[in-house]
Amino acid sequence: MTPGAIMLVSPLSVQPTSPSWNSATSCNAVVLTLEQFLGSVVNPKQTKPNAGADYSGGALPLEGAKSAGTNPASTSWPYSKRSTSPPCTVTLANGTVLPTLVEIHGVKVGFVSNDECGSVFANICDKTFNSCNAVLAPNCASSYPDTMHKVHTEIDMYWQKNGIAPPTPTSGSIIDVQGFVYWDDAHVSDSWHSFSGWEIHPLSAWRLSSSSSALTAGFTYSPTTPTTGQTITFTASASGGTSPYSFSWSFGDSTIGTGNPVTHSYSAGSYTVQLTVHDSASASTTATRTVNVGPPPQPDFAISANPGSLTILAGSSGSSKVSLNSLDGFSGQVTLSTSTDKTGLTISCSPSSLTLIAAGSANSTCTFTSPTIGTYAVTVTGTSGSLSHSTSIAVRIVDFTLSALPNSITIIHGHSATVSINLSSVNGFTGTVSLTQSDSSINIKTSLNPNQVTLAPDGTGSSSLKITALKKTTPGTYLVTVTGTVGTVSHSVTVTVNVT
């Protein structure tokens, strides 16, 4: 069988199939009506109007055939409703092969709500709504007989986290859907779940229904995290129906407005904002969102460091500018303090106390020195009364070394010898080292080639030191010192010269 193909069995063998609209799954969908999917069996253990579609009448009983009124355990369903890769088919115990992905056309989107927000992933919710037969259950009522023409539908948080979920449709829109079937035994008696365990979960894809030009609407607002007294701009969008459109608003605080866009402000609290859109053919639809308004921001300050990481040669110094900025009208004195994760680093910030005016800024220079090679995590903390904020600076102390090979030589007067001056980067030092040499006698002549060596991080280099003892050199012991310098830091090595 080719990937995604479905071996359909009666009564599904006569149903058309469709490729997945979502590239995250290769399954083919079986195309059903909402009523074919749910079936016509009413749960015999429920009393109308609190009754919905029974498991036994569904087109895709993936736990096998059950008697009417049976509520199969969701834990036995062939796949988790949280799965991001459900199987394309399920083979029942009797060998029957059933598809798992369905496609249903022309359903009306009920009220869209968030569920289980933050229960697994921060700031990610399941998006839930009922998919309803727009003709037989236009109001999506949670009572019989509407419950036989609607199914609970969810855009799963795991699909959202993995970036494969479809966008959220607008309440009231008419759409075609594709999704994986699921029986949820926990909500069979819940009205919002249509008194049935049937779900489309996860919903894998949807599109605006080609069989309908239903009027749809939605809106956005900015800023998205408003505070008390802040002006909020509401911007509506509408499609379908017959243009032009008119827009009316209920802001949730007993005030209303018209037009698009509109502005409004609130005191702190949570408000349900409803947009109503009318088209020129007298059709209407609504969209609702909750706006949470926080208290006005309190005066505060921010602290930052530039640069946030430094590389300093051992024995020298480096600095970073620490900046303070007033937020929301803060003014006052801020005292700086520092700490490190280990000893060995000397830190000095000047000035150590700064005064901020409202909407102003101030800077301090923090200087770092250390003779000890290593990497230090520095925290600079600004404190003003009960307010305290910190910024981090990474300080790496590096160095280089010099050595001579050999460090002692014997030369017959009138002859020469060569010594290798070797340099090594320590802890990631990079730069150019200038080399100089000094002789303890005018009768000892020396030269360096090259007199500059560039080291890569943790790399090595060398220079050749040529030593010549003139013929008139008196036999004895002489010293040649080679010094490597970078800036104000220098290291030396001494070569002993025995002249015979």
Q: Are 39 and 53 in contact (CB under 8 A)?
A: yes
Give the tens place of pLDDT for each residue, 299-334.
999 999 999 999 999 999 999 999 999 999 999 999
> pLDDT digits over 211-224, tens only?
556 788 999 999 99
pLDDT digits (tens, 9 = 90+) for 69-109: 999 999 999 999 999 999 999 999 988 899 999 999 989 99
Alpha carbon 262 to its chain centroid, in Å, reads 32
3-state secondary structure of 154: strand
Categorize the per-residue pLDDT at 13 as very low, low, confident or very high, splitting at 50, 70 and 90.
Answer: low
What order of strands is seen across the sheet that includes strand 300-306? 300-306, 317-327, 361-369, 346-350
Distance CA 322, CA 366 (A): 7
CA distances from 305 to 364, 376, 381, 391 (A): 9, 15, 11, 7
Write the CB contacts of 83 (distance below 8 Å, at least 6 apart in sequence). 158, 180, 202
Check residue 167 and give its pLDDT.
Answer: 96
Residue 3 pLDDT: 40
User: What does the alpha-carbon distance between residue 161 and residue 156 come to, in Å, rounded to a whole number?
Assistant: 9
Q: Is the pLDDT of residue 14 over 80?
A: no
Could you give the domains of the chain? 12-208 (2.40.50.140), 216-293 (2.60.40.10), 300-398 (2.60.40.2310), 406-499 (2.60.40.2310)
Q: Is the pTM of this model over 0.75?
A: no
Query: Can you give the pLDDT at residue 12?
Result: 62
Q: Which element (helix H / strand E) includes 485?
A: strand 476-486
pLDDT value of position 9:
40
Residue 292, token pair as written in the block: 């949470």
The 8-class DSSP code of residue 371 comes to: S
Short-list 171, 183, 181, CA closest to 219: 171
Question: CA-CA distance, 22 to 166, in Å (whole number)?
Answer: 8
Q: How far apart are CA 214 and CA 175, in angstroms?
A: 9
Range with lowest mean pLDDT among 115-129, 165-179, 260-274, 278-292? 278-292
pLDDT mean over 149-162: 97
DSSP 8-state symbol, 430:
-
Q: What is the pLDDT of residues 456-465, one digit of tens each?
A: 999 999 999 9
The token pair that represents 289 in the structure block: 């969102």
- In the predicted model, is pLDDT for residue 8 greater than 70? no
